[in-house]
A and B are shown apart, each in its own frame.
Chain A
């Protein structure tokens, strides 16, 4: 398992899975604390109409136009949710429900109406991606990692996801203080002159960027699960935001690795022939981690949480 085959077949999807999981979990921490956990759910649903529109506009299935389309759709959804919430004075959950279902329905309709039978574009792909197929044909063992020519053959998703993760990490680090402040006490943050509206919007945009980059590689199930489950489990482990971020990164990584391995090898161990969906398995593992922390996490309840040392 650790040989040439691993480097070619398992290393790239594993890394992509880990990068995607962590890139979503980082902004997820703040969304969770701001009671906006479901914005990830909404964003991942509207990715579909975005990529369909991008396909209709360009006529090709290519990564960049589709990611652009998905990004625009995600932004449009966020703006629409905010507009409907304010104009109609509707609670955010309901506004989200209206927007993402309608946009998703529009996406499915467009897909059915357009002739996409010849290309690989369908609802299933958008939902659970194809992590397993992101292999590195030029990878012949660990030595290939030092071989520039072989590295050229790495799946482009890996580079994109790594860049996205770096961007999300830098965003979180640079805006750490204002994000924490405005999440805890928005009114006070405003009196310091912080533009809390812009900050909130920036957070959602970064979440959307992470979601769009991740969905392309791994599908939207992982995206929703990673926005919520690792941060939620992490919240039950600690009462310090700094440590919560650390736990969430650990849990996201663990989910991605365990999920990928279980999906690929689990069925074989059980005597089945075919692997199961890696995206689905990663989400499942993240749920199991949440279950364990909900049962035994040191800070799982509001009352009587022990002091941390």
Chain B
């Protein structure tokens, strides 16, 4: 008992102390066909921060996330997580893909989707025990979806689907959370619920990196930005990097004046 407490404590300290970057990218080039979607991108994400990846459509935001997770194969580049290779750190990384990337007509329930987040604990043949169900239900509760556990996923609204995906990521119990457009096409209540969960994660010392497209909410939601358009434009705290000069460089004339106002 005593021993267990000690290790738990040590583990917590370890997370708190882990000052190595949760995600470090060097010289990442990814291309679909002959035109690079990302060119020679370097990035060092701060531990314990909430970072928004922003940039115009087609700037390679989602590609950056997917390459960082090993879902797309880069032409060149190196990914490290907490000082180690990606494959050694997969258990510390949770991922929320774009909602539209899966077929929601798949025959399964909300609870089953959340349980997918526990795959690493369950393994191939491990039985789903009450404690696993408890974790899944508590993750659903954190996103306000505990009443939907038995619902067929095809019957959810867009915002509810997004919350379920977030609950699945929470179930992974990771230190680094990567989210691809978590606020795309969701209702205002869902957006509020999601940001509350993400901020709570940050309070616990976790790192959150999200592809984001609504410039107006960047200063409210995030502490850091990573601005990208094929290659890196700027990276830093919102106050320093989220400035018209860099946004202009990334977005060009596509940057609406209203958004400039919000940024300035």
Chain A contacts to B: CB under 8 angstroms: 33, 174-175, 177-178, 180-181, 183-185, 187-188, 190-193, 235, 238-241, 244, 302, 305, 307-308
Cα–Cα, bound, A118→B120 (Å): 58
Q: Are B102 and A307 in contact (CB under 8 A)?
A: no
Stretch touching chain A among B4-12, B49-57, B106-114, B256-264: B106-114
Q: Are A190 and B69 in contact (CB under 8 A)?
A: yes
Closest 7 interchain pairs by CB? A239-B152, A191-B95, A193-B90, A191-B69, A241-B107, A185-B102, A184-B106
Contacts of A180 on B, CB cut-off 8 Å?
Answer: 108
Q: Are B102 and A184 in contact (CB under 8 A)?
A: yes
Cα–Cα, bound, A239→B112 (Å): 12
Give the one of A177, A183, A184, A191 with max B CB within 10 A.
A191
For the complex formed, measure the closest distance between the CB of A156 and the CB atoms of chain B, giving whole angstroms.
Answer: 32
Pick the contact of B152: A33, A187, A192, A307 (CB < 8 A).
A307
Cα–Cα, bound, A177→B122 (Å): 9
Contacts of A187 on B, CB cut-off 8 Å?
Answer: 66, 69, 71, 95, 97, 101
For the complex formed, measure the closest distance between the CB of B75 and the CB atoms of chain A, giving whole angstroms.
Answer: 17
For the complex formed, measure the closest distance between the CB of A81 and the CB atoms of chain B, giving whole angstroms.
Answer: 21
Nearest chain B residue, comparing its CB with the CB of A303: B154
Q: Are A191 and B124 in contact (CB under 8 A)?
A: no
Pick the contact of A302: B87, B90, B95, B154 (CB < 8 A).
B154
Q: Are A244 and B107 in contact (CB under 8 A)?
A: yes
Once A175-B124, A184-B106, A244-B107 are accepted as A-B contacts, the answer to whether A308 and B152 lie under 8 Å apart by CB is yes
Contacts of B70 on A, CB cut-off 8 Å?
Answer: 190-191
For the complex formed, measure the closest distance between the CB of A10 and the CB atoms of chain B, giving whole angstroms.
Answer: 35
Contacts of A193 on B, CB cut-off 8 Å?
Answer: 87, 90
Pick the contact of A192: B90, B97, B106, B107 (CB < 8 A).
B90
Cα–Cα, bound, A185→B115 (Å): 13
Count of A-B contacts judged by CB separation below 8 Å: 74
Contact with A along B150-193 (1 / 0, CB 8 A): 01101100000000000010000000000000000000000000
For the complex formed, measure the closest distance between the CB of B87 and the CB atoms of chain A, giving whole angstroms.
Answer: 6
Q: Are A235 and B107 in contact (CB under 8 A)?
A: yes
Interface size bracket, B side:
20 to 34
Once A174-B125, A191-B70, A191-B95 are accepted as A-B contacts, the answer to whether A184 and B116 lie under 8 Å apart by CB is yes
Q: Are B107 and A239 in contact (CB under 8 A)?
A: yes
For the complex formed, measure the closest distance between the CB of B4 and the CB atoms of chain A, giving whole angstroms.
Answer: 27
For the complex formed, measure the closest distance between the CB of A149 and the CB atoms of chain B, giving whole angstroms.
Answer: 39
Contacts of A302 on B, CB cut-off 8 Å?
Answer: 105, 154
Once A185-B102, A305-B155, A307-B152 are accepted as A-B contacts, the answer to whether A191 and B93 lie under 8 Å apart by CB is yes
Nearest chain B residue, comparing its CB with the CB of A302: B105
Cα–Cα, bound, A61→B49 (Å): 69
Nearest chain B residue, comparing its CB with the CB of A183: B106
Nearest chain A residue, comparing its CB with the CB of B94: A191
Contacts of B107 on A, CB cut-off 8 Å?
Answer: 33, 235, 238-241, 244
Cα–Cα, bound, A180→B107 (Å): 10
For the complex formed, measure the closest distance between the CB of B104 and the CB atoms of chain A, giving whole angstroms.
Answer: 10
Cα–Cα, bound, A188→B119 (Å): 11
Nearest chain B residue, comparing its CB with the CB of A194: B119
Cα–Cα, bound, A177→B97 (Å): 19
Extra A-B contacts (6), CB below 8 Å, given A193-B90, A239-B154, A241-B108:
A177-B125, A181-B116, A187-B97, A188-B116, A239-B107, A305-B155
Contacts of A188 on B, CB cut-off 8 Å?
Answer: 95, 97, 116, 168
